Structure 1
């Protein structure tokens, strides 16, 4: 029996080495599978006073722009609304006005009649008041001067009109700060 115990002791280092090689191979495969981490930011959207809209908006940087995925509930049934990024990440005002103007990088602010980078487009709520989907925003990013991080996302009462980008879209139904 002593010889068997000695045999086990002699074999343990090679078993440990084989286990480590196997584990490193498996972990290396996992690293290749998961790839590099994507740039991502999220906003928990909460209703402004007197409204019921709420949900989440996620921003993920892709090669063709920022994918903005939204999942909102509590909107008026069968309605359209503008989804917009605003200058400040402040949703403390009862009507969302503390978020400031629609986001536009410095040079874009001087242009009139031009769609602002923060105007992400319109979303549609179904018969139950749910709006879910995504848009690809090519004019914003998650870093640099066009970054949406630290700003806020608002769901406006009215849809935006691309023919008249300077026209207001009504008060905000919901607001959420965009955080990494």
Structure 2
């Protein structure tokens, strides 16, 4: 009887060890992976501005970290996401509209999801910082993946009504995972 009990205990111990190994592997699969996307912004024709943007989804929104150089010194500029992932447009009339859900686009004075905010260039024409964008995401209906992100010549006016015109872009890139 004792031999049979030791055999069952050994089998149970082996089964428990196997389950433990399998469950530790599940931790790698199901752990919280950071949702991240990046864009390299290149100058539009006639401009020298260039930079990078990194988007990381957080619990309070998407953190949009940016670093730009060769901007006009001591100036403010709008950072916007556009509907299409197209940076080959040569002028402002050819660019796609700012990203917005259809219901938001119909509201005449509402801020659009793709209007991320304004950034300020220092005396050397550089800008580094971040914006928390609460109206966009990196998946689902509000996803900005594969859309164009543009740095515009002018800043967003929070009091302006539609259309949301911030002038031509200085730099453009496509948001990629």
Does structure 1 residue 111 correspond to structure 2 residue 107? yes
Q: 1:71 to 1:54 in 2, by over 3 A?
A: same
Structure 1 residue runs of 5 or longer lacking an equivalent are 1-27
3-state secondary structure, aligned to 2:104: helix
Could you tell me which of 155, 160, 175 is aligned with 2:172?
175
Per-residue deviation, 1:37:
2.0
3-state secondary structure, aligned to 1:144: coil
Task: Number of aligned residue pairs: give it.
Answer: 150
Distance in 2, matches of 1:96 and 1:36, equals 40
Q: Tell me the TM-score normalized by structure 1.
A: 0.78
Q: 1:73 to 1:139 in 2, by over 3 A?
A: same
Q: 1:114 to 1:149 in 2, by over 3 A?
A: same
3-state secondary structure, aligned to 1:41: strand
Any conservation in 2 of the 1:157–1:171 contact (CA below 8 Å)?
A: yes
> Once superposed, what is the RMSD of the aligned Cα atoms?
1.8
Tell me what 2:62 maps to: 66
Structure 2 residue runs of 5 or longer lacking an equivalent are 1-23
Per-residue deviation, 1:97:
5.3
Q: How does 1:22-101 map to 2 (within 5 A)?
A: 36-95=32-91, 98-101=94-97
Any conservation in 2 of the 1:153–1:176 contact (CA below 8 Å)?
A: yes
Q: Tell me the TM-score normalized by structure 2.
A: 0.80
Structure 1 stretch 161-170 or stretch 124-133: which is displaced more? 161-170
